[in-house]
Structure 1
Amino acid sequence: MEKRQKIYLYQYSFLLVLACLSNLFIIGAVEGQAGSETWMAFLFCFPLGLLVNLLAIGLFTRNPGCTLHDINIRAFGKILGNIATVLYTLYFFLISAILLNYYGLYTVDTVLVQMRLIFFIAPVMLAVAYTAKKGIETLGRMSVIVGAVILVVCIAAVVFEIATGEPEHLLPILAAPPEKMIQVVLALTTIEFGELLAVMTCVPNIKERKKLVKPTLLSILAGNGLVLLFAVGNILVGGQTAYMNTVGFFRASQSTELFQAINGVKMLVVAAFFFAVVFRLTIHLRAICQCLAETFHLADQKHLALPVGALVAGFAQFISGSSLEVSRFLVQVYPYIAVVPQVGLPALALCLTWRKQKKEE
């Protein structure tokens, strides 16, 4: 295996925040499937989501210096461990293709109208593969620069949105049926929080991993807290998803100057979201390549980036031609698939690892 590259803890924190911000698309998916009255689900998912993340953090801190594949081998044995790693690989592959498909459909439906989907997602995935091939050190440095810019833009947009909103739009607080609220909470938990597992595969690459839990949780709270504020601001203005709707980004007055300023912010947030998605895809592609390289004992995982990226782009092309169908899958079906790699396997591996360590003591 190649010499493991290293990143600093603050770079890892920025990667987590960027991964959270790439989940802004879920606001539109939830509203399209369950309605805007389910906005409280963005708050309810926090306790469950943090438990899922604590499970993943515990898995890596209990096995210091081990990659995800190493942990699986230690917990399940060689054969079952390899099978577990393959399952994680398929999971990372699936969500990468879905995310690329969803963002591609949004772009060709609203920004680059009449462009064929493949002509958008192919160059995006090429950029993702190139970035992933550069390695985690390059990705860590880029995350700080790009992440700082994206945070400033998104925070400014949220403040602008909330300031122009109407508080009475938040009521009634619990208008959604309980079964619908539960469904949305599960979807948000598995997408907003569970998807951060790919970023956490970078933990063995972090220099000086002391006090890892606190900065990880703070980064997750900061990133997903901003998604929550976007969701609240979206309801305050009584419109559609703040960063995606081509008709209105905020509710504006008839002032031409204000309208132009608002649309300027809208384009900045769309650009910020795009870069966050690219980073998210890069992290997932890196996780796929690492799992494949370690499972099949390949000398260098960098050479896998381009062919795996091509497979992701090809699969994304055939997933769906409708963002509504993708939204339905994410809210109604995906949580029941994701519970295995996000909760089942990590919990079982953590229990087995803890048991073996107790026996050794």
Structure 2
Amino acid sequence: MTEEKMSSYQLGMIIISFFIGSALAINPAVIAKQDAWLAFLFGWGGGLILLWVAIKIAELHPKKSLVGILIDCFGRVLGKLIALVYGWYFIHLSAEVIRTYASYTTTVTYPETPLLFFSVSYSLVVIYSLKVGIETIGRISEVFVPFIILVVLFTFSASLSSMDISNFQPILSQGFLPPLTAGFTTMILPFGEFIIFLMVLPNLNHQNSFKKTSLLAYLIVGCILFIVVCRNLLVLGADMLARDIFPSHIVFRLIPGIDVAPLLDINLIMAGIVKTSICIYASAKLITEVFGLLNYRILLLPLTAFAVSLSMMVRGTVMEQVTVTMEIWPIYSIPFQIIIPLTLLLFSLFNRKNYNHNRT
């Protein structure tokens, strides 16, 4: 099978789309209320550290995927076992994304339509896109990212008359703990999920551009989401921002003179498709490498079907979904986003030091 390749620009657009993902619908920084902007900056900064860890690991293992890196560091048996655990995590993440977008659609747009209908509809698009190839996701992102930037800038400008600068006050009224806690959750959701791109890296045409592309994409997506957080806070105020499940939807509805809510729906659907596609692709490629299969495409349908089934089981009501997302998912993700990557980095640095010592 011909190896799929993508340009640095396409990878950057995919990273932006992936990070925007569910953060447009649910942003953990809002639990800090009037300090949501500060919590986001804390999370953004913490995510930059996790991004550096992932980039450094990739640099120490050129042209290798996460599976190859795990095998290099932990050996063939243990490395493959840990890889399979990551495969579960990627599928679980895809199920969470599917459920988030299906819940959003049935809550604010089509409340009479069954949840399963939207879950299956999203998944069919994901399967078709991946069947064509990962470069298709890159082309989708090339169109989507400029569109979302224009929408964010437009809605920010259109909401200026409804903004109240006093919604930023009082700053740190309850100390640093609430924004730090919300910042940690923001670091995990979505920035810590960058580890998944170690499964995409081998598809990059020019491997040496991975670092620059990732950092630039991270900077852009951070700016986009920071504008969204500030816009929602200035328009809705701290209490309503923290209480409402989908604050961006309320802001779009409050824009005077024009109904722009469908633009948010389009953005969320496109972002959800890209994020789910990357999760399914990463898990399929991971399983293919672990078991030595020839074609990852044979796994797309069963893995996506499993993700849809899991998405229908992982949550009850929308409120329960938000609660688990904010409180349980960050703790659950710590081994995958922090502990194992840091261990990989330490092992990689140690092995390189021993290699250089032996050469001398």
Q: State whether TM-score is above 0.5.
A: yes
Q: Which piece of structure 1 moves more, 231-240 or 299-308?
A: 231-240
2:95 corresponds to 1:116: no
Q: Matched residues in 2 for 1:339 and 1:162: separation? A: 38
Pair 19,247 (structure 1): closer, same or farther in 2 beyond 3 Å: closer
Q: Matched residues in 2 for 1:106 and 1:46: separation? A: 25
1:188 aligns with 186
1:197 aligns with 195
Say if 2:34 and 2:171, in contact at 8 Å, map to a contact too.
Answer: no
| Identical aligned residues as a percent | 24
Say if 2:5 and 2:135, in contact at 8 Å, map to a contact too.
Answer: yes
2:74 corresponds to 1:79: no
Q: Which amino acid aligns with 1:291?
A: L
Q: 1:130: Cα distance to partner?
A: 1.6
Q: 1:48: Cα distance to partner?
A: 0.8
Q: Matched residues in 2 for 1:82 and 1:57: separation? A: 21
Q: 1:152: Cα distance to partner?
A: 1.9
Say if 1:197 and 1:342, in contact at 8 Å, map to a contact too.
Answer: yes
Structure 2 unaligned runs (5+)? none
Q: Which amino acid aligns with 1:316?
A: S
2:123 aligns with one of 122, 125, 130: 125
1:238 aligns with 236
Q: Matched residues in 2 for 1:47 and 1:39: separation? A: 12
2:150 corresponds to 1:152: yes
1:24 aligns with 24
Say if 2:66 and 2:83, in contact at 8 Å, map to a contact too.
Answer: yes
2:41 corresponds to 1:5: no
Q: 1:11: Cα distance to partner?
A: 0.6
Q: Matched residues in 1 for 2:202 and 2:214: separation? A: 14
1:255 aligns with none
Q: Matched residues in 1 for 2:139 and 2:209: separation? A: 21
Q: Matched residues in 2 for 1:114 and 1:50: separation? A: 41
Q: Matched residues in 2 for 1:38 and 1:145: separation? A: 30
What is the TM-score normalised by the length of structure 2? 0.91
Pair 107,250 (structure 1): closer, same or farther in 2 beyond 3 Å: closer
Structure 1 unaligned runs (5+)? 253-257
Pair 8,163 (structure 1): closer, same or farther in 2 beyond 3 Å: farther
Q: 1:330: Cα distance to partner?
A: 1.8
**Aligned pairs, how many?**
351
1:259 aligns with 256
Q: Matched residues in 2 for 1:355 and 1:247: separation? A: 49
Summarize deviations over 1:195-225 as a string: whole Å, max 9, x none. 2222342122111122432221121111122
Say if 2:101 and 2:268, in contact at 8 Å, map to a contact too.
Answer: no
Residues 162-241 of structure 1: pairs in structure 2 closer than 5 A: 162=160, 164-176=162-174, 178-238=176-236
2:139 aligns with 141
2:346 aligns with 351
Pair 210,82 (structure 1): closer, same or farther in 2 beyond 3 Å: same
Say if 1:15 and 1:143, in contact at 8 Å, map to a contact too.
Answer: yes
Note the aligned Cα RMSD (angstroms): 2.2
